[in-house]
């Protein structure tokens, strides 16, 4: 059904809206990436005296693409190092999109490097491509390792394509990417042994070692050391598992010094439950209540083997958590009016924002049936306490449905174009909602969405 509770602004003693300052980190990160690429091109330029004939052009292009592929590997790993400065300001899903785009570019550059070098060398030595390939792979130092690294990159790239990704579980896709660490290690050795720009160039070698060792240090620290240290520090355990809606449960956790996690409303953690069949993977779930020094809560819908198994967790189960992650927080807000638009279990991060986000907030919660409206009692209580507006929209019965269109949203939320919109729900719903919001006049910069599709 569609329900409206008391609408309006806060009383004088309520939270005040303060427009957040836009962080310069995303722009600085992009400038750093492109600045590094310019430095790599400068390395090639400084080491190239002349380009004469087709073989030099092909070999030179092969050197450029090889250098750029190597540099791109370092950038890809840095983007996924889970550094809080990048993750909280740029957003996990945006970093993942940069990583996916960079991955496609890296595989393309590595493939171009391979073909151009083989072709250029075959013209120089006046041999056929097959013989030249055999000579390079079997007789050049570390080139066999480099070839194995390239094949690992290629396989990972193919299996990460959208069509293949949809057929894989999150866990299998996640562990597949560990092969890229081995691929980078093998390609790194090949570049220093065979790269014309590094052989005998101590300055270039030092810069390359500094780049890759720095990225390796970030990965080891944020992906391994920090999670282990926090797990030992916070000693989290499951307290209870309670049903919220059909196929939806809340997992209540307790631990020590949880206030030190620094989790903000809207963020998520990667949870590793030390139970049979669950301990070997860490899956992302949002906090569904503001963090408390002794308590945390996540609300999960059974959408796969891992999430379905959480309903059977026993009290006392040990939990390791990595995070918090994500930039889906109050810091993205740019306007005094806010619409929180939730679909299904996408209500979890929006429930915390609904309770804590300052200013005039409207929540629109869409679900298939009335029974699927998880956490409804809490949402009603929050709306009444802060005199906010909450509207429930269900598909069944049809009498209470509302189309996810510009006109439908505008009828639910007056002056829609003046709102910041926080959007969370299934992929199809978020795509339709984004299109409807844009058609209703909401600027793209005011539509905030963070996806777990990474």
Per residue in 8-18, pLDDT (tens digit) is 333 323 344 45
Number of Cβ atoms within 10 Å of the Cβ of 323: 24
pLDDT value at 206 more than 80:
yes
Residue among 407, 437, 452, 405 nearest 339 (CA): 437
Q: Over the stretch 72-100, which tens digit does the pLDDT of each residue have?
A: 999 999 998 889 888 888 888 888 888 88
Reported confidence tier of residue 20, pLDDT bands at 50, 70, 90: low
Do residues 88 and 216 share a domain?
yes
Query: Could you tell me which of 276, 231, 237, 266 has the C-alpha nearest to residue 254?
Result: 237
CA angle 91, 93, 94 (to 5 degrees): 65
Task: Give domain status of residue 2, yes or no.
Answer: no
Query: Are 285 and 164 contained in the same domain?
Result: no
End-to-end CA distance of the chain: 33
pLDDT digits (tens, 9 = 90+) for 144-169: 888 888 888 888 877 777 666 667 66
φ, ψ of residue 452 to 5 degrees: the values are -95, 10
281 and 248 part of one domain: yes
Mean pLDDT computed over every residue of the chain: 85
Rounded alpha-carbon distances, angstroms, from residue 293 to 258, 288, 437: 5, 15, 37
Average pLDDT on 34-54 reads 85
pLDDT, residue 424, reads: 92
Distance of alpha carbon 423 from alpha carbon 415, whole angstroms: 17
Could you say which of 325, 342, 377 is where a domain stops? 325
Strands 268-273 vs 248-254: parallel, antiparallel or unpaired: unpaired
pLDDT of residue 136: 83
What is the pairing mode between strands 318-325 and 236-245? antiparallel
| Maximum average pLDDT range among 63-72, 83-92, 276-285, 323-332 | 63-72
pLDDT, average across residues 250-255:
94
Residue 195 lies in a domain: yes
Calpha distance 454→92 (Å, rounded): 8
Domain-located, residue 16: no
Task: Return the minimum-mean-pLDDT range out of 115-119, 248-252, 402-406.
Answer: 402-406
pLDDT of residue 164: 64
> How far apart are the C-alpha atoms of 271 and 251, rounded to whole Å?
11
Are residues 86 and 222 both part of a single domain?
A: yes
- 378 and 299 Cβ atoms separated by less than 8 Å: no
Which whole number is the average pLDDT over 253-261? 88
Euclidean distance between CA atoms 29 and 26, whole angstroms:
5
The owner of tokens 């957003």 is 91
Picking from 25-29, 119-123, 222-226, 278-282, which range would have the lowest pLDDT averaged per residue?
278-282
Domain-embedded: residue 64? yes
Q: Are 216 and 286 within one domain? A: no
Q: Which residue has the higher pLDDT, 46 or 350?
A: 350
**Where in the sequence is the domain holding 315, given as residue range(s)?**
235-325
The CATH code of the domain that includes 288 is: 2.40.30.10
Q: The CATH number of the domain where 423 resides is what?
A: 3.40.50.80
Residue 9's pLDDT is 32
Among 325, 358, 390, the domain-final residue is 325
Tokens of residue 356, six digits? 């804590």
Angle at CA of residue 254, ends 249 and 260, nearest 5°:
120
Asked if residue 90 belongs to a domain, the reply is yes
State the DSSP code for 106: H
Residue 5 within a domain = no
Rounded to the nearest 5 degrees, what angle is found at the Cα of 241, between the Cα atoms of 324 and 313? 85
Beta bridge partner(s), residue 61 = none
Structure tokens at 160: 């990460």
Distance of CA 267 to the CA centre of its chain: 12
Among 195, 229, 263, the domain boundary falls at 229
Q: If you average pLDDT over residues 344-372, what whole number do you get?
A: 91
Hey, is 18 helix, strand or coil? coil
How many C-beta neighbours within 10 Å does residue 213 have? Answer: 10
Look up residue 317 and give its two tokens.
């189960």
Q: What are 322's two structure tokens?
A: 């990595």
Q: Look up tokens 């993750």; give the residue.
A: 87
Q: List, as own/partner pairs, every contact residues 433-441 make where C-beta atoms lie below 8 angstroms and the sequence separation is at least 24, other chains included.
A: 433/341, 433/343, 433/404, 433/409, 436/404, 436/405, 436/406, 436/408, 436/409, 437/406, 437/409, 439/405, 439/406, 440/406, 440/409, 440/410, 440/416, 441/416, 441/417
126 token code pair: 């006046």
- From the list 418, 427, 433, 432, the residue with the least C-alpha distance to 451 is 427
Shared domain for 71 and 211, answered yes or no, is: yes
- In the numeric block, which tokens belong to residue 259? 């206030």
In a domain, 171, yes or no: yes
Q: What confidence score (pLDDT) does residue 454 get?
A: 47
For residue 331, the model assigns a pLDDT of: 85
Domain count, the chain: 3
What distances in angstroms separate CA 121 from CA 41, 131, 132, 140, 388, one per listed residue? 21, 11, 7, 13, 70
Instruction: Choose between 403 and 270: higher pLDDT.
Output: 270
Per-residue pLDDT band at 7 (split at 50, 70, 90)? very low
For range 384-390, the mean pLDDT:
90
pLDDT higher than 90, residue 196: no
Provide the pLDDT for residue 165: 66
Q: Is residue 211 part of a domain?
A: yes
Q: Are residues 338 and 281 in the same domain?
A: no
Tell me the H-state helices in 47-91: 53-79, 84-90
Per the model's pLDDT, the better-predicted residue between 277 and 384 turns out to be 384
Residue tagged 């390796």 (tokens): 216
Asked if 185 and 316 sit in the same domain, the reply is no
Task: Give mean pLDDT, residues 122-136.
Answer: 87
- Of the two residues 192 and 67, the one the predictor is more confident about is 67
Same domain? 426 vs 440: yes
Q: Are 44 and 141 in the same domain?
A: yes
Would you say residue 204 has pLDDT above 80? yes
Q: Has residue 390 got a pLDDT over 80? A: yes
247 and 204, same structural domain?
A: no
Same domain, 148 and 267: no
């Amino acid at each position: 059904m569609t329900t409206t509770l008391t609408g309006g602004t806060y009383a004088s003693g309520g939270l005040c809206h303060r427009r957040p300052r836009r962080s310069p980190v995303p722009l600085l990160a992009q400038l750093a990436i492109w600045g590094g690429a310019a430095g790599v091109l400068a390395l090639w330029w400084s080491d190239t005296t002349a380009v004469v004939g087709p073989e030099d052009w092909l070999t030179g292009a092969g050197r450029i693409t090889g250098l750029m592929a190597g540099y791109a590997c370092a950038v890809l790993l840095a983007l996924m190092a889970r550094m809080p400065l990048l993750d909280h300001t740029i957003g996990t899903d945006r970093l993942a999109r940069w990583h996916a785009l960079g991955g496609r570019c890296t595989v393309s550059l590595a493939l171009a490097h391979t073909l151009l070098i083989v072709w250029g060398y075959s013209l120089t030595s006046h041999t056929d491509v097959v013989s030249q390939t055999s000579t390079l792979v079997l007789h050049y130092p570390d080139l066999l390792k480099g070839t194995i690294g390239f094949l690992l990159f290629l396989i990972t790239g193919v299996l990460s394509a959208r069509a293949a990704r949809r057929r894989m579980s999150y866990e299998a896709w996640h562990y597949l990417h560990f092969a890229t660490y081995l691929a980078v290690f093998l390609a790194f050795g090949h570049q220093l042994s065979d790269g014309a720009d590094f052989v005998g160039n101590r300055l270039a070698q030092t810069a390359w070692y500094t780049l890759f060792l720095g990225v390796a240090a970030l990965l080891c620290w944020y992906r391994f050391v920090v999670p282990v240290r926090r797990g030992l520090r916070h000693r989290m355990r499951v307290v209870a598992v309670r049903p919220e809606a059909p196929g939806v449960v809340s997992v209540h956790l307790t631990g020590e010094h949880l206030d030190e996690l620094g989790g903000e409303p809207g963020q998520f953690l990667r949870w590793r439950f030390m139970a049979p069949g669950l301990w070997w993977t860490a899956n992302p779930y949002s906090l569904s209540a503001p963090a408390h020094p002794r308590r945390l809560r996540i609300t999960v819908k059974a959408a796969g083997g891992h999430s379905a198994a959480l309903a059977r967790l026993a009290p006392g189960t040990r939990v390791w958590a990595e995070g918090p992650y994500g930039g889906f927080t109050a810091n993205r807000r740019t306007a005094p009016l806010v619409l929180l638009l939730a679909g299904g279990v996408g209500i979890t991060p929006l429930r915390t924002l609904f309770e804590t986000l300052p200013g005039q907030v409207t929540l629109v919660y869409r679900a298939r049936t009335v029974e699927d409206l998880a956490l409804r009692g809490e949402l009603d209580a929050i709306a009444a306490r802060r005199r906010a507006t909450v509207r429930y929209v269900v598909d069944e019965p049809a009498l209470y449905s509302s189309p996810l269109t510009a006109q439908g949203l505008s009828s639910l939320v007056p002056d829609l174009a003046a709102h910041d919109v926080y959007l969370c729900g299934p992929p199809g719903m978020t795509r339709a909602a984004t299109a409807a919001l844009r058609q209703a006049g909401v600027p793209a910069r005011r539509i905030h969405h963070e996806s777990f599709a990474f």
